[in-house]
A and B are shown apart, each in its own frame.
Chain A
Amino acid sequence: MLRFILLASFCMTCVTSVYGGTPIAVPDTMAERVKACTICHGAEDKVGRDAYYPRIAGKPQGYLVNQLRNFRDGRRYYQPMAILLENMSDEYLYEIAQYFSSLRLPYPAPEQIPMQSEEIELAEHLIYVGYPGRNIPACSACHGDVLMGIEPAIPGLLGLPRAYITAQLGGWRNGGSMRGQVPDCMSEIAKQLTDAEVNAIAKWLANQSASGEPRPFSTLLPELVHRCSQNIMANGSKE
């Protein structure tokens, strides 16, 4: 019986081939629909082939929705993304964010950038303690104690290449990342950082292996919620 079924399906395949040339089976899946994304951001278990295409798998959905909308609406400026998303609805962007957010894929091995012990100390102080006197909170205060982000809209900081982190912090400092969001807490914080501090943070983060899950919203301190409300709440929910 099984043989018969196999034979029958083989024949049907042949018939299709004869009449349809070389038919391409297009899976009705999100993975197929987002091929335009994964060509740069890497399919499935890969980060981008290039340092400037960050991993998006497993990032909080609200964060991804915010970024997609920011790119589309010109608040975060990167022309290739803006062109790609130009004619897409909020609903579809939400679905795309949900898809990437739901991916649980292994992280790449961390980079191995040599660091002096003072540099490591500086990075760890910034990341876990901050400099309240300079109005610089600890990175972990917003990005979670394991630096994997906080639901629904704060991204994790691990599993990203150093070049990308440096570029993003640079963007925050010179106002190139985001336009017109006031107040813009990440920009304020980045502007407080020295070049040496940016370098130390970027190296240190890239050297860590990523593990763990984004933390729940309740772990965020009320004063930081207030300070960063624009960044973390603005578009985080589906409209």
Chain B
Amino acid sequence: MRRLAIKYHISHYQFDVLLLACMVSLLFFSITQVSDVVAEEPDRSIEVQHGAYLARVGNCMGCHTTKGGQPFAGGRRLSTSFGIFVTPNITSDKETGIGLWNQQDFWQALHQGKSSDGRSLYPAFPYTEYTKVTRQDANAIFAYLQSIPPISQSNPPNDIFFPYNLKPLLAIWRILYFKEGVYEPDQSRSDAWNRGAYLVQGLGHCNACHTTRNMLGASQDDTLAGGQIMGMNWYAPSLSSYQEAGSGDWAIEEIVELLTTGITKRAVASGPMATVIKQSLQYLSQEDINGMAIYLKSFTENEGGNTPGVRFLVMSGSLQKHLDFGGQLYEKHCQTCHGSDGKGVPGIYPALADNRSVMMSSPLNPIRSVLNGGYPPTTAGNPRPYGMPPFQQILRNEEVALVVSYIRNAWGNRSSLVTAVDVDRSKGRN
């Protein structure tokens, strides 16, 4: 039986956004140019257009633009436990941007993680993923970046903490964790699956967020197994687990709907994932987003899907009483929209009953949603979203803990309780 009655939503399908850069290259173009003088003009404009699209897929703008700043002029500060990285200007400005780069320089950055002068780049620029991008796509992105008007904007240098600022350490890091190489299709899979894998693993750099990182900031695996996002107080759920955001039992159409509109009958994207959808995924071609959905679905397709959180704990009287306090707060502040049965309103207010992102072992995302509220991204498919009010100004930490504990354990939900300390830790840092 299909699990029609089960409503859960994946709140934070964050592929991410944060770390992208797109640099340059000059390829064997010099040769092509000589022989293709006549055809060069139209080809060039097609390449630029294609590059603009690919830059959207990779969301280069997301990182290489500061809030309210000029697109691609950089200056965005990425705070990590290793220091503050400031994204560079990648417009065609010759002084402050990459106007003096050639295709080869760009390729070197994207594929090998090296700057035009040969220095190794810090992997805050996700070349660990971009290395999978083909030369042809890299060239197109470079052509596009060179076509946008130069913007003169000098950005401050990175501020990297000791000892991570020592170059030899970066060299060791690269040996340990960086594997150079363009994506190689899996011949046993369909073209659509391979297209999705190419985009998810490469330009989409979903793994920049949906992963657990080790002490040295290296991604622990490539199955998008989820983890707290570096430098952000958000948890990127696993895309390969039914307990979190695995989509094996979803229809392809619904995965596509979530990734392009930000909302479905049972899911809504929020936090950094909402940003990725707003800035990037909603613009993907039907074919590309379909491929992504097919690839993502395949992570959990054969697991059969078990209902998350079926560990029924025996509830002690005092525990029940504790949860009842949360229930009273729920009734007062949440019930009007999410309903007394926690079923919400499909496509408008997400269901909390049977909602995996409410019950994930990390309570970070539900706590943040209660504290900060938020709107799903505005997209062509959902241009006028309904929103969740912030409760930070109304509820004390203890009360937020009570209400989140309640929703994690009401209507058949089962998950760990949340404390006021958890709530306090969830504040700040976007």
Chain A bound to chain B: yes
Find out whether the CB atom of A39 lies under 8 angstroms from the CB atom of B390: yes
Find out whether the CB atom of A24 lies under 8 angstroms from the CB atom of B345: yes
Name the B residues within 8 Å of A92 (CB-CB). 378, 383-385
Bound CA–CA A26/B373 (angstroms):
18
**Is there a chain B Cβ closer than 8 Å to A44's Cβ?**
no
Report B253-280 residues with CB < 8 Å from chain A CB: 262, 274-275, 277-278
Q: Say which residue of B275, B339, B372, B377 sits within 8 Å of A24 (CB atoms).
A: B339
**Is there a chain A Cβ closer than 8 Å to B376's Cβ?**
yes
**Is there a chain A Cβ closer than 8 Å to B221's Cβ?**
no
Using a Cβ–Cβ cut-off of 8 Å, how many residues does chain A contribute to the interface with B?
30
B-contact 0/1 string along A30-60, CB 8 Å cutoff: 0011111101100000000010000000000
**Is there a chain A Cβ closer than 8 Å to B317's Cβ?**
no
B-contact 0/1 string along A132-153, CB 8 Å cutoff: 0000000000000000000000
Name the B residues within 8 Å of A72 (CB-CB). 68
Bound CA–CA A89/B262 (angstroms):
14
Bound CA–CA A42/B319 (angstroms):
35
Name the A residues within 8 Å of B343 (CB-CB). 21-22
**Is there a chain B Cβ closer than 8 Å to A188's Cβ?**
no
B-contact 0/1 string along A90-125, CB 8 Å cutoff: 011001000000000000000000000000000000
**Is there a chain A Cβ closer than 8 Å to B394's Cβ?**
yes
**Is there a chain B Cβ closer than 8 Å to A222's Cβ?**
no
Name the A residues within 8 Å of B392 (CB-CB). 80
**Is there a chain B Cβ closer than 8 Å to A83's Cβ?**
yes
Q: Which residue of B lies closest to A50 (CB)?
A: B393
Find out whether the CB atom of B390 lies under 8 angstroms from the CB atom of A32: no
Bound CA–CA A234/B253 (angstroms):
42
Find out whether the CB atom of B387 lies under 8 angstroms from the CB atom of A33: yes
Report A162-214 residues with CB < 8 Å from chain B CB: 180
**Is there a chain B Cβ closer than 8 Å to A87's Cβ?**
yes
Q: Which residue of B lies closest to A40 (CB)?
A: B393
Q: Which residue of B lies closest to A32 (CB)?
A: B386
Name the A residues within 8 Å of B67 (CB-CB). 73-74
Q: Which residue of A lies closest to B262 (CB)?
A: A87
B-contact 0/1 string along A64-95, CB 8 Å cutoff: 00000000111100001001111111011001
Report B331-350 residues with CB < 8 Å from chain A CB: 336-337, 339-341, 343-345, 348-349
Find out whether the CB atom of A80 lies under 8 angstroms from the CB atom of B390: yes
Bound CA–CA A88/B378 (angstroms):
5
Q: A24-B349, A75-B68, A92-B378 are in contact. Are A36 and B373 (CB under 8 A)?
A: yes
Q: Which residue of A lies closest to B342 (CB)?
A: A21
- Other A-B contacts than A24-B349, A37-B387, 15 sampled, CB-CB below 8 A, are A21-B343, A33-B385, A36-B389, A39-B389, A39-B390, A72-B68, A74-B66, A80-B390, A80-B393, A83-B390, A84-B390, A85-B375, A87-B275, A87-B374, A89-B278
Interface, chain B (partner A; CB < 8 A): 66-68, 262, 274-275, 277-278, 336-337, 339-341, 343-345, 348-349, 372-378, 383-394, 430
13 A-B pairs with CB atoms under 8 Å apart are A21-B343, A22-B340, A24-B337, A26-B345, A33-B384, A35-B387, A39-B391, A39-B394, A50-B393, A86-B274, A86-B374, A87-B274, A89-B378
